[in-house]
Amino acid sequence: MAAQHERAAGAATTERSAASSLLREIAEVVVLAAILYFGISFAVQAVHVEGLSMWATLDNNDYLIANKIDYRLHAPQRGDIVILRPPTNNTTDFIKRIIALPGERLLIRDGAIYINGHKLDEPYLPDEWTQQTNAGKYSEGQGAVIPPNEYFVMGDNRNRSQDSRFFGPIGRDRIDGKAWFRIWPLNNFGDIYRKMPSLETGSLFFGIAAAAPAA
C-alpha cells in the first residue's frame, strides 16, 4: 500500500513539474514574441501610399516598408523618400522626396531647381513641371538658404503635390522615417531608388542667367 502511495505521489509530482515546464515555455514564447513585435515596430513600419504626389516613383495604393532608425544613425540625404508630418498637422503623414539640405542655398526658377548655383538633374519627374514653378523667397533673386536642421521636400509629381513650396522646409524632428522598399504590388516589389537626383557641375546660376563654366 505504501508503495502505491509513493508511486502516486511521484506521478503527481512529475505531472506538476511537466505542467510548470510547459507554462514556463509558453511564457518565454510570449515574452520573446512581445520583444520581437515591439522591436520590429520600433525599427520599421508599413506605409500605405494614398494619392499621386509621388507618381511615377510611387503609385496610389502602393505599400512600402519604412526604416525608422536610419536617421538616428545619420542625417537625411538628398533624394531620400521620407515619411513626414507637415508643420501644421500632426495627424497626417506625407511622403515626399528631400530636395535641399540644411545650409544649402535653394533657388526654384521656372520649373528648375538650383542648389548653391548648380542645377539639380531630376530623372524621376514624370512630366513637364508647369504648376507652382516658383516658391516665394526661394524663387526671388538668388534664392534663400535652408535653415539649420530643416529640409526642403517635394513630391515627384510636381503638378499635384502639396509640399515645401506651400508649407516651407520641415524640421528633422518631423521626419518619421525613410521609405525603404515597396512590398505591394508584387509586380513592382523592391527598389524605389532606381532614379536619383544629381547636381550638374558644369554651370552655375547667378541672378537670371547661367554663367558659362570657366575655360
Q: What is the pLDDT of residues 135-154, one digit of tens each?
A: 899 999 999 999 999 999 99
178 catalytic? Reply is no
Segment 154-163 mean pLDDT:
96
- Which of the residues 17, 20, 41, 53 is marked catalytic? 53
Contact predicate 197/152, CB 8 Å: no
What per-residue confidence (pLDDT) applies to 63? 98
pLDDT at 59 over 80: yes
What is Dmax (Cα atoms) for the chain? Answer: 111
Segment 5-13 mean pLDDT:
51
Facing residues of 82 across strands?
A: 96, 178
pLDDT at 44 over 60: yes
Find out if CATH 2.10.109.10 is the number for domain 49-207.
yes
Q: How confident is the model at residue 208 (pLDDT cuts 50, 70, 90)?
A: very low
Cα separation, 116 vs 106, whole angstroms: 6
137 catalytic? Reply is no
Amino acid at 10: G
- Which of the residues 17, 68, 96, 161 is marked catalytic? 96
Domain residues of the chain, as ranges?
A: 1-43, 49-207
Q: How confident is the model at residue 157 (pLDDT cuts 50, 70, 90)?
A: very high
What per-residue confidence (pLDDT) applies to 89? 86
